[in-house]
Structure formats: structure tokens, C-alpha cells
């Protein structure tokens, strides 16, 4: 059964530390009591890479290039905005999951572009994830992933160990999603 968009707007945020992935902060201190993750990879350098990576981050490019679909679609050239709600559609083998989320933070500065989304009731996990693209003074462009995770409520709690395995698989995809297409593949 597919849920309507009205069901999305009626859901509450499923965790209390909204904004805790701190996508605007260069250094991050995760709150206690969470399964925290942070990893940064260098994507390359140059203005073209910066422009492409920045646009991709703010238009769900990391998620879509990693195998997710996002509903509703963003129009070409549009960026996510704080307070917007979406369905993330994931496929893990034959299983298709619809994950309700809300954008809880966006950042757009000269050298940092990011957003964080938080889980809504009905998501398989509880927590937040942030995608951050940054560049240093030498023009090196990096991608940082941050997340806070706890078991979801209800039937999702029993599936949490399997969800953590899928989460690791998707994180590897996220870290490769913005690498230039013509660059040599590296293990992440």
C-alpha cells in the first residue's frame, strides 16, 4: 500500500536532537547515546567540480546516484529547503522501503554547501543524516557524511541489525556518488 502525501505532512519528527549533525560546523561533536558516523573523502579540485558537487548535494544527487528515488521530484535547478518533506524510496534486494524525512538544515556559503534531513514517524530508523561538500583555500573539494542513528519504532526495532548492514552498503555508495565520472575508481 502506498501512503498519500497527506500522510507525510501529518508525521512528527521521530527524534529529539534535531540539527545535531551540524552541517554548518567544520568540527562535529555528536551527542551521546547515538550511533554516530562521520567520514570525509576528497573528491578532487577545481571550480567545475565544486559547482557540480554543490548542485548535486542540494538536489538529492547523493541519494539518487546511490540508488534511491526521491518523491516528490525537485524541478531542474531547484534545491532542497528547510521544512520540506520527502519520501526516500530504497531498494534492498527485492524489498522496497518508503522512508519519510524532513529537511532540518541547509547551508550555502562560499566554501560549504550542505543539508541535513531527519526521520519522521514510520522511518525504519530514528535520527539524522547530513551531506556536506566543502572546499579549502587550495580548491580541494571534499564530501563529508554525518549521521546519527537509533532503532526505529515498532516492527523496525527487530530489523535494526539488518538495517545497519544496508546502511553501511549505502554509505559506501554515498561516498562515491560525487566523484568525477572520469576519475579512477578508488576503494572507499
pLDDT (tens digit per residue) in 79-115? 999 999 999 998 777 878 899 999 999 999 999 999 9
The residues facing 85 across adjacent strands are: 102
Mean pLDDT of 5-12: 79
pLDDT at 78 exceeding the cut of 70: yes
Residue whose grid cell is 534511491? 68
SS3 per residue for the chain: CCCCHHHHHCCCECCCCCCCCCCCCCCCCCCCCCEEEEEEEEEEECHHHHHHHHHHHHCCHHHHHCCCEEECCCCCCCCCCCCCEEEEEEEECCEEEEEEEEEEEEEECCCEEEEEEEEECCCCEEEEEEEEEEECCCCEEEEEEEEEEEECCHHHHHHHHHHHHHHHHHHHHHHHHCCCCCCCCCCC
CA distance 110 to 7: 37
pLDDT at 155 over 90: no
Predicted confidence band of residue 161 (pLDDT cuts 50, 70, 90)? confident
CATH of 9-24+32-177, one of 3.30.530.20, 3.30.2310.20, 3.40.50.740, 3.90.1150.10: 3.30.530.20
pLDDT digits (tens, 9 = 90+) for 21-31: 999 999 999 99
- 147, HSE (Cβ side, Cα atoms, 13 Å): 18
**Arithmetic mean of pLDDT over the chain:** 89
Tell me the pTM: 0.87
Q: Where are the domains of the chain?
A: 9-24+32-177
pLDDT in tens, 30-62: 999 999 999 999 999 999 999 999 999 999 999
Report how far residue 58's alpha carbon sits from residue 55's, in angstroms, rounded to the nearest whole number. 5
pLDDT for residue 188 is more than 70: no
All 3 cell numbers of residue 163? Answer: 538495517
Residue with cell 571534499: 142
Quick one: which of 91, 154, 151 has its CA closest to 125?
A: 151
Rounded Cα distance, 156 and 150, in Å? 11
- Does the structure show a pLDDT above 70 at 180? yes
Amino acid at each position: 500500500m502506498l501512503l498519500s502525501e497527506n500522510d507525510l505532512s501529518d508525521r512528527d519528527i521521530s527524534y529529539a536532537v534535531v540539527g545535531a549533525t551540524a552541517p554548518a560546523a567544520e568540527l562535529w561533536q555528536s551527542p551521546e547515546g547515538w550511533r554516530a558516523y562521520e567520514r570525509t573523502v576528497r573528491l578532487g579540485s577545481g571550480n567545475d567540480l565544486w559547482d557540480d558537487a554543490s548542485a548535486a548535494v542540494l538536489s538529492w544527487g547523493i541519494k539518487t546516484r546511490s540508488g534511491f528515488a526521491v518523491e516528490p521530484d525537485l524541478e531542474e535547478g531547484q534545491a532542497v529547503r528547510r521544512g520540506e518533506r520527502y519520501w526516500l524510496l530504497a531498494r534492498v534486494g527485492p524489498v522496497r522501503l518508503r522512508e519519510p524525512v524532513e529537511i532540518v538544515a541547509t547551508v550555502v556559503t562560499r566554501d560549504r554547501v550542505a543539508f541535513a534531513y531527519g526521520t519522521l514517524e514510520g522511518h525504519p530508523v530514528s535520527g539524522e543524516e547530513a551531506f556536506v561538500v566543502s572546499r579549502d583555500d587550495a580548491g580541494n573539494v571534499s564530501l563529508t557524511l554525518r549521521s546519527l542513528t537509533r532503532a526505529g519504532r515498532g516492527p523496525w526495532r527487530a530489523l535494526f541489525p539488518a538495517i545497519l548492514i544496508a546502511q553501511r552498503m549505502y554509505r559506501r555508495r554515498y561516498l562515491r556518488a560525487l566523484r568525477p565520472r572520469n576519475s579512477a575508481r578508488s576503494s572507499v
